[in-house]
Structure 1
Amino acid sequence: MKSFDHPYFGHLEVPPVDETEVIWDGTATLGSSEVEIRLWADPDCGLDTGELDTFATHLTHLPALDTAARAAIREDLRQDRYFIDHHADELDDAEVIKRLIREANGEPVGVDAFTAAMRPVRIGLWHPTGEAEARVVMDYTIDAAASDELLAVKVARDGTAVSVDWES
């Protein structure tokens, strides 16, 4: 088994099997949310110091990554507000939705207010696997206790958001 020591992640071992798997996990605080972090690695790629350093930089500057992800969510919801409307209809008993509806004062829940209310729950760091441009995936939910539906923001190596996908 190949192993590697990194200043941020510590001792890492490349997965010995044919499947990509988690080789490090941790948590971070982002605003009022505790976010799970998982570093995934592909056994065929080995470990690259530059890639790991980039992940460490993103985690060290998590508020900047969150800002970029929320900007992408905001733009996506402006293009198609079905995610908002679906949650307003389906989760009308959830406190966050009640508050958003009350604050909308008879109007549809606003994109900015909904985006601000979303909470990050998980960050996946994908060490050379899959898409070359999307190495970090940040998962956001409006209410983790009431819904398993989330918006996954894929972020390129340079910190720019490349897509927002509705997942569950």
Structure 2
Amino acid sequence: MKSIDHPYFGHLEVPSADGTDVIWEGAASLGSGKVEVRLWADPKSGLDADELDAFATRLAHLPALDTAARAAIREYLRQDRYFIDHHADELDDAEVIKRLTRDANGEAISVDAFTAAMHPVQIGLWHLTGEAEARIVMDYTIDAETSDELLAVKMADDGTVVSVDWES
């Protein structure tokens, strides 16, 4: 199917270019804030109403997705603190790092405190492209204004975490 009218996403058309492209942009509410959302599609794949429905369901239950993502981030950081230590060293003038350092009271910034301070900046919905298991990517940062480095939490369309990757 080259185009579809979807109750959540509205009218969508497969990109005409040779590569994967954004076919819908919007925002989803999470707590008191909004997170930018982009729906990507591959011109070779067509559009599938069931998968679009699954994405809409995940966005309607974004707090549950955020909880799963934060649990995965917490585990990732427990296994390797370098992301925390790197940001503590490189962003020592950022208000969030100053607060986390002050709250640590002479100790290392805790994984739990750092994870709680991170926030999602973008959600990518990958419609029938790439790895079959990673259809939703939630990008988290500690401070978007001072750092372009983030943790990308990749999930299956059912919300199961597939991986956490450090990206910039």
User: 1:18 offset after TM fit, Å?
Assistant: 1.2
Q: How does 1:13-162 map to 2 (within 5 A)?
A: 13-162=13-162
User: 1:158 offset after TM fit, Å?
Assistant: 1.5
1:55 alignment partner, SS class: helix
* Amino-acid identity (%): 80
User: 1:159 offset after TM fit, Å?
Assistant: 0.6
1:15 alignment partner, SS class: coil
2:115 alignment partner, SS class: helix
Note if contact 1:39-1:127 (Cα within 8 Å) is conserved in structure 2. Answer: yes
1:78 alignment partner, SS class: helix
Question: Matched residues in 1 for 2:28 and 2:49: separation?
Answer: 21
Note if contact 1:15-1:41 (Cα within 8 Å) is conserved in structure 2. Answer: yes
User: 1:92 offset after TM fit, Å?
Assistant: 0.5
Question: Matched residues in 2 for 1:88 and 1:22: separation?
Answer: 34
Q: Normalized against structure 2, the TM-score is what?
A: 0.98
Question: Matched residues in 2 for 1:62 and 1:140: separation?
Answer: 14
- Tell me the amino acid that sits aligned with residue 117 of structure 2: A
- Tell me the amino acid that sits aligned with residue 80 of structure 2: D
Q: Cα deviations across residues 33-62 of structure 1 (Å, max 9, x unaligned)?
A: 321100000000100111000000000000
- Tell me the amino acid that sits aligned with residue 100 of structure 2: L
Q: Normalized against structure 1, the TM-score is what?
A: 0.98
Note if contact 1:33-1:121 (Cα within 8 Å) is conserved in structure 2. Answer: no
User: 1:32 offset after TM fit, Å?
Assistant: 3.7
* Runs of 5+ unmatched residues, structure 2: none
Moved more, 146-155 or 26-35: 26-35
* Runs of 5+ unmatched residues, structure 1: none
Question: Matched residues in 2 for 1:47 and 1:161: separation?
Answer: 24
Question: Matched residues in 1 for 2:103 and 2:31: separation?
Answer: 21
